[in-house]
Structure 1
């Protein structure tokens, strides 16, 4: 890949370092990907004392330190993801959150998970706009702006913006199964809730004149993984959405996660990342179809009828969550967490190489573990795939994973060549 538009990893002594083989922030093109921040004091390297409020405050302090170390401000955050051990702690976390985003609020996802590294109560990650990009002297350097949008046809929340666009992506707040008119959860079971989540996403996209099939990545958060078949039954009535997508059999990349709890005691929550071909003014508006979605599968990694292995748009590839499945047999590999981690990463490597990229092009890694105590064993394998510790990273413990796996990994991959039709 060209070294001109290059992956840029950075660290600061004002935020925790040496907590694992990853970088605090990794920039590529017009986004900075910040590693999930734990409530760790950067001086001592230990968790702060004082309960959930003190821990949430430290997470945001660490994010702010990273953001300011790269000459950005907190208003450059386009998405916040909050992981808590106890969903009841979100009221306290929100009070701290509001002090960091008193006027502008980014897109947001909130999930309770089974465990967090270092037995933390909260972990927070941020995605940051990067107007200057990583192409030296690019003509549009510094010109890009955020575009925020809310519609009354989807649930409105004072703590998050429904969608925040920057450059060639719209980042949509995770949608709960809330009726936009009543502000309450819809009645019925998980099928009804899944349908409402997806209808909310569709309403948001319609409000910004973006078709549903412009979604490049879906993240499903389920309270009970046993509900996945019912969720998929509804999901397949939404994807593909258009005749063009159906003719191409286009499906977005996807990751499915078991949450310990969701806001409002919902059964499902759905998050979407959406292509935005016309960019964000004031640069010259591009034809929406001038940059195209490129979906790709390889037989050297597990395939699924429900998602594409990797979906590229503009300068990023979004890779579906990879389970430790043997691509030839479709069965779970035998062995312990190290064997399963190696298989997940081998699957990712096969996908990456199938589109003429390398593992050094990865900018963000998301790891989901059934047993958080196995993190060190995972890192032992992980370091052999990422010896420089370059990608930003998130690690959470979950109650269950598809196929009863011990681990699932997904990645975001840089794409220097972009996706114009002539590429």
Structure 2
């Protein structure tokens, strides 16, 4: 790892162990929890039962990891739920509500083509607060700011926005018209516009500019709709004069889903800079904290996203496709070559900002054939020298450019961004 960066990677035998990732990786004021399948930690096997039993096991595994590091589920700020069948959501929600009875983190729900275990119906990952900090980052009070606004659709199972330290997490927004409670009329372009309007309403409600977004995740039902979504997207970014001057675009990942709540065509969530922080961070700090977008010509450049956006103590890396830099096409070969190219692009981006691969705290992998995961793991392990990052793997029906695999990442940023908050 680079100088001054101290990750805390931990595993507990009370939850399933995975040789390809750490269960939780803490850096600065967040812990990143790897995706948990419905596996019993003692037997190492898929639990017997329906989707409710499986959902309970996923959450029990997350709870075991969280409690093993001295935290509780009340410290969770974000949960991602990956279903094999979106029709199982109501049943999963019944279980979910029991684990988050008094406080609702932000949440994203999507159906996927496959999960990395035969018979699994659901998988979940999480992000939690880490008030104790790590390395040179001093401890801070575990004070979250949980907010909902009237101008965006409200869910009983997810808060609009949960802020902690110098980040705010915005729950996935469906294309719901707040006045009617229904999906807006129109196709993917109209739905993407509504999703972004809802995010903008949430940010306006908490007095945060739209260009403070550092990472966007777009979930599509149909990859063919991406051009229409992009047409809507570019009417929202850049948003202000300063951002337009530098052409600022957040980091971004596009994931093709097999289903979304309310049968929507598109869903969008976001991670936002939170300069004023939460106590004991000072409100006036927000005026001096700087978002640092960065591109290198040694990795594929996109007009719709920045390769990496740094804010406070994290870098957010856009989804990387296995593109040949010279031709702009998918690299020749199969899954080994494509996985290596994705990781080479991430490595190039990370090194271009003075970091190394072991500074990564979380990797997200989308693959069109989960049977390729073993081959991906063979390549993956060669890119890390120390303890492995937290990780989430999902199977998808399609990936942009016809790729077999896509990866994004979150990287520790010990130097922070001005003022370098300790």
User: For this structure pair, what is the TM-score category when the shorter chain's length is used for normalisation?
Assistant: over 0.9
Deviation at 1:135, TM superposition (A): 3.4
1:329 shift after superposition: 2.1
62-71 vs 412-421, which moves further: 412-421
Aligned residue pairs, count: 420
Deviates more, 1:40-49 or 1:2-11: 2-11
Q: Is the CA contact 1:144–1:282 (under 8 Å) kept in the aligned structure 2? A: no
**Which residue in the other structure is 1:54 paired with?**
53
Give the conservation status (yes or no) of the 8 Å contact 1:313–1:419. yes
- Give the equivalent residue in structure 2 for 1:262: 260
Q: Name the residue aligned to 2:39.
A: 40
Shift of 1:5: 4.4
Q: Deviations over 1:340-374 (max 9, x none)?
A: 00000000000000000000100000000000111
CA distance in 2, matches of 1:9, 1:286: 33
Instruction: Give the gaps of 5 or more residues in structure 2.
Output: none
Quick one: distance in 2 between partners of 1:253 and 1:54?
A: 36
CA distance in 2, matches of 1:31, 1:22: 17
- Asked if the contact 1:5/1:29 (under 8 Å) is kept, the reply is no
State the alpha-carbon separation in 2 of the partners of residues 89 and 137 from structure 1.
Answer: 41
Q: 1:97 matched to which residue of 2?
A: 96
* Native 8 Å contact 1:177 1:185 kept in 2: yes
Q: In 2, distance between residues paired with 1:283 and 1:341?
A: 40
Of 157-166 and 385-394, more deviation after overlay is shown by 385-394
The CA distance in 1 between the partners of 2:62 and 2:284, in whole Å, is: 33
Q: How far did 1:137 drift? A: 8.0
Q: Secondary structure at the match of 1:326?
A: coil
Q: Which residue of 2 aligns with 1:132?
A: 132
Give me the whole-angstrom Cα distance separating, in 2, the residues matched to 1:395 and 1:137.
30
Distance 1:135 1:349 in 2: 23
CA displacement at 1:2 relative to structure 2: 5.5
- Residue of structure 2 equivalent to 1:377: 375
Structure 2 counterpart of 1:114: 113
**2-side partners of 1:289 and 1:137: how far apart?**
21
Any gaps of 5 or more consecutive residues in structure 1? none
How far apart are the structure 2 equivalents of 1:422 and 1:218? 24
TM-score with structure 1 setting the length: 0.97
Q: What are the superposed Cα offsets for residues 118-157 of structure 1, whole Å, 9 maximum, x if unpaired?
A: 121100001000111113682xx24241001101100000
CA distance in 2, matches of 1:289, 1:330: 39
Conservation of the 8 A alpha-carbon contact between 2:39 and 2:57: yes
CA contact (8 A) 1:279 1:286 kept: no
SS in structure 1 opposite 2:183?
coil
Equivalences for residues 177-192 of structure 1 within 5 A: 177-192=175-190
Matches within 5 A, 1:254-333: 254-333=252-331
In the superposition, relative to structure 1, how do residues 188 and 40 fare at CA in structure 2: closer, same or farther (>3 Å)? Answer: same
Find the aligned partners of 1:190 and 1:347 in 2 and give their Cα distance.
Answer: 30
Change (3 A) 1:214 1:283: closer
Q: What secondary structure, in the 3-state scheme, does the structure 2 residue paired with 1:111 have?
A: strand
Query: Displacement of 1:51 after TM fit?
Result: 1.5
Deviations 1:158-187, CA, capped at 9 Å, x for gaps: 000000000000000000000111111111
Quick check: 1:52–1:89 contact (8 Å CA) kept in 2? yes
- Deviation, 1:103, is 1.1
Provide the aligned C-alpha RMSD in A: 1.3
1:268-325, Cα deviation, whole Å (9 max, x unpaired): 0001100001101244333313211000000110000100000000000000000000
Deviations 1:12-42 (A, max 9, x none): 000001x341100000000000000000111
TM-score, structure 2 normalization = 0.97
| CA spacing shift, 1:422–1:100, aligned 2, 3 Å | closer
Does the C-alpha gap of structure 1 residues 415 and 172 become closer, same or farther in structure 2, counting only changes over 3 Å?
same
Aligned positions of 1:215-226 closer than 5 A: 215-226=213-224
Tell me the SS of whatever aligns to 1:325.
Answer: coil
